[in-house]
């Protein structure tokens, strides 16, 4: 069960163990991602040279692959790192940013699914639907949809890949193909800050590093994300202040905050 | 005519249509650029792989090319995307960051002018002067100058390229070679935040996506930039807070703010 | 001697001369680095194309090489720029981020030491120890240590390379192999903001551009870093606000602030 207590327990574990999370992510969010991981208590490392990613995996506790700004050498590094992570047995979290928008993104996403076999996949509803269909056809960027309407795709994707799938949105849905957890925290201002989804993926890497139950780890990460975002929004007068307040809140977040704000 | 009403009309159009602006820009400003576009109501996408830029253009409403941090593969992508944008007929906005500083920048800028045929070019006075002279000789980084002293170069550049040229500075000048609009809003603290010029270019992309009159679109974007910057400066105690307040202000900016602050 | 007066004198020189600092640095911190250089009064430029780095050096007053996010073409550019800077006689400052973590990082760091011959090297205790040993063996990421315990390595590294070596930490130690300066300012929140070390390295580039005594320049930069960080921390409720307040404080920092806060 996901409750305030289980969330706090994992958050405490992240802060105590400070897992090293290896990120191969996009240029837009690297600073935010590193700061969010530091603020939550983890240790970020960013490295993408094919010459070193497999070595970096040897000292890492989780790998986060985010395909926001793709290019050939980066894809090479993602695949190398993913295979090394599989070999070492650390969790791999995948963020298929923009899948469905171009054939290239679909191809790369399919390669990552197949070769890196991620434990957890996180995207918005459109991305999860596009990814579930990536082998058969390209859908383009779908129109806006509710998380709920992408749930069947998420379950199918989870079952086919033996992965936990997270759909971010006003409601976050987390499924392993059978069970579904729902996280209702968050705010409507959060999508106005670039990379909030990427941050959620990175935090998921930190939680997966301390909790081997991928379904719970992902749900806990999304809960911390939503609770911190909701509290930070109350102190913000726009997306600029939210970006700052969110980092402060991740850093400060207490067991009492979680108990008070978590929506079961 | 550029007035408070025409500015508000375009801002409203950006917020309602939320145009997808495809940015091929520099590493320093990507996060700011994406956040500014989100805050003003547009949708940013960053993609630079030659494998996908032409496909991304198919779903975009404007292309912004910024050469702040150049390298070979990125230039390839800029040219491919620019040609695809020309083919599709969406506006292309070009920011020749640092042109004049090295021969390589001059070559790349000349290639972009020739192959992508931008609708709008935005730079500071030194860059516009260097760009106007890029085919005949390299000038290096010019000494500081007023926008006014670069106006002849801007007009020449505009006429030669059939483009609107924007000179940013304490006074912004926007010209199509014949007409000149002047925007007097802004603050002296704004140049102390890195990438404010790049943000202006990106916002110009959003406004060009909703107003096919490039001269007006560029003037409106610069006005929104200056007004938001001026209001944000009043709440700031340095460039750190200005970066945040500027994003909040872009998000909040009302018709009343514009009517009150715009300097015709 | 390093005292409040000598620190203020160099800070004033940076603000008056506004030296152009050429950074070849990592993706995570580029925005922060540029903003910190602007806030302290310097002029940042980021350029990494092998086609132009040597030309950019011709207009620069210092070169900062930071190997946070490595890849082959970037290393090529670092070496080209470093040699051009040596040829021109401007200071080269090197930040061996993550050296010791992978064999590739060790190789690259050794190449930079040998080919670029940096005037100043700045890292944390683990990095300085790993770098001092990079030619003989790979140490991996060392456990946390005090700056003091890495001092012997720093002195050895300084002597072998004819460089000033800075160890950042709760206490900053700055040595040329013989003399040692200690800077005690700073706060425990600073390491929770990503890239604070990278910022210290970039500021060191600005100070080295205005003071040819590398030992003093480095000590002054670390003092300004620590003082601004300490003052900014007092206004911060977490690492998000510290990132902003630090930039504001660099911008505002007065002679009186330095006189009051500097810990000799």
B104 closest CB neighbour out of C39, C51, C249: C51
Q: What is the pLDDT of residue B148?
A: 76
Segment C48-67, tens digit of pLDDT: 999 999 999 999 999 999 99
Residue C238 backbone class (left: φ over 0; alpha: ψ -120 to 50; beta: rest):
left
C253 shares contact with chain B (CB less than 8 Å): no
Q: Check CB contact under 8 Å for C103 and A52.
A: yes
Q: What is the pLDDT of residue A146?
A: 64
* Average pLDDT for B199-218: 98
B38 closest CB neighbour out of A101, A104, A194: A194
Residuewise pLDDT in 10s, chain C (264 residues)? 899 999 999 999 999 999 999 999 999 999 999 999 999 999 999 999 999 999 999 999 999 999 999 999 999 999 999 999 999 999 999 999 999 999 999 999 999 999 999 999 999 999 999 999 865 443 444 445 567 789 999 999 999 999 999 999 999 999 999 999 999 999 999 999 999 999 999 999 999 999 999 999 999 999 999 999 999 999 999 999 999 999 999 999 999 999 999 987
Q: Report the residue count for chain A.
A: 264
Q: What is the pLDDT of residue C189?
A: 97
Mean pLDDT of chain C: 94
Give the pLDDT band (50/70/90) at residue B264.
confident
B38 shares contact with chain A (CB less than 8 Å): yes
φ/ψ of residue A185, rounded to 5: -75, 165
Q: How far apart are CA C261 and CA B169, in angstroms?
A: 37
Segment B33-90, tens digit of pLDDT: 999 999 999 999 999 999 999 999 999 999 999 999 999 999 999 999 999 999 999 9
Residue of C nearest to B71 (CA): C49
Burial of A212 (0-12, 13-18, 19+ CB in 10 A): exposed
Burial of A253 (0-12, 13-18, 19+ CB in 10 A): buried
Walk me through the domains of chain A, giving residue ranges and CATH numbers.
4-261 (3.40.1190.20)
C104 shares contact with chain A (CB less than 8 Å): yes
Which residues of chain A make contact with C240, given a CB cutoff of 8 A?
A: 35, 39, 243-248, 251
Run means of pLDDT, 10 residues per run, chain A, 264 residues: 96 98 97 98 97 97 97 97 98 97 96 98 96 59 62 96 96 97 97 97 98 98 98 98 98 98 89
B152 shares contact with chain A (CB less than 8 Å): no
Residue contacts between B and C (CB atoms, under 8 Å): 86
Which residues partner with B94 through β-bridges? B65, B121
pLDDT for residue B118 is more than 80:
yes
Give the pLDDT band (50/70/90) at residue B263.
confident
Q: What is the pLDDT of residue A139?
A: 39
pLDDT for residue B112 is more than 80:
yes
What distances in angstroms separate CA A173 from CA A225, B227, C133, C187, C203, one per listed residue? 13, 41, 49, 40, 45
Which residues of chain B make contact with A240, given a CB cutoff of 8 A?
A: 35, 39, 243-248, 251
C248 shares contact with chain A (CB less than 8 Å): no
B110 shares contact with chain A (CB less than 8 Å): no
Those chains having 3 or more beta-carbon pairs within 8 angstroms of chain B are A, C
Q: Check CB contact under 8 Å for A34 and C195.
A: yes
Segment B131-158, tens digit of pLDDT: 998 654 434 443 455 677 899 999 999 9
C245 shares contact with chain B (CB less than 8 Å): yes
Distance from CA of B246 to the nearest CA of A (A): 8
Q: Check CB contact under 8 Å for A27 and B35.
A: no
A34 closest CB neighbour out of C105, C194, C238: C194
Q: What is the pLDDT of residue A149?
A: 84
Query: Is residue C226 a known part of a binding site?
Result: no
Q: If you search the block for the tokens 């390299």, which residue do you land on?
A: B138
C246 shares contact with chain B (CB less than 8 Å): yes
Q: Check CB contact under 8 Å for B244 and C244.
A: yes
Q: What is the pLDDT of residue B134?
A: 65
Mean pLDDT of chain B: 94
Radius of gyration in angstroms for the set of CA atoms belonging to chain B, rounded to a whole number = 17
Query: Is residue C195 a known part of a binding site?
Result: yes
Closest of C89, A162, A143, A141 to residue B59, by C-alpha: A141
Question: Complex ipTM, two decimals?
Answer: 0.95
Q: Check CB contact under 8 Å for A247 and C237.
A: no
C197 shares contact with chain A (CB less than 8 Å): no
Q: What is the pLDDT of residue C134?
A: 65
Which residues of chain C make contact with B70, given a CB cutoff of 8 A?
A: 47, 49, 51-52
Q: 3-class DSSP state for residue A190?
A: helix
């Amino acid at each position: 069960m996901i409750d305030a207590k289980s969330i706090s327990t994992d958050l405490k574990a992240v802060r105590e163990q400070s897992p090293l999370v290896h990120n191969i992510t996009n240029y837009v969010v690297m600073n935010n991602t590193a700061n969010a991981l530091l603020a939550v208590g983890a240790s970020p490392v960013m490295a993408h040279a094919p010459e070193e990613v497999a070595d970096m995996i040897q000292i890492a506790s989780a790998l986060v692959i985010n395909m926001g700004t793709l290019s050939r050498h980066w894809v090479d590094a993602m695949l190398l790192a993913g295979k090394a992570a599989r070999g070492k047995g650390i969790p791999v979290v995948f963020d298929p940013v923009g899948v469905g928008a171009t054939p290239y993104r679909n191809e790369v996403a399919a390669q990552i699914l197949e070769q890196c076999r991620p434990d957890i996949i996180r995207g918005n509803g459109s991305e999860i639907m596009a990814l579930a269909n990536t082998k058969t056809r390209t859908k383009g960027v779908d129109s806006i949809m509710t998380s709920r309407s992408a749930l069947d795709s998420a379950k199918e994707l989870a079952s086919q890949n033996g992965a936990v799938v997270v759909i971010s949105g006003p409601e976050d849905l987390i499924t392993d193909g059978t069970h579904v957890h729902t996280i209702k925290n968050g705010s409507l201002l959060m999508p106005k800050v670039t990379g909030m989804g990427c941050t959620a993926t990175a935090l998921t890497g930190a939680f997966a590093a301390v909790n081997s139950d991928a379904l719970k780890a992902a749900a806990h990460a999304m809960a911390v994300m939503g609770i911190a975002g909701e509290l930070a929004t109350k102190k913000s007068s726009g997306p600029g202040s939210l970006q700052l307040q969110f980092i402060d809140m991740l850093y400060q977040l207490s067991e009492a905050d979680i108990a008070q704000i978590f929506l079961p």
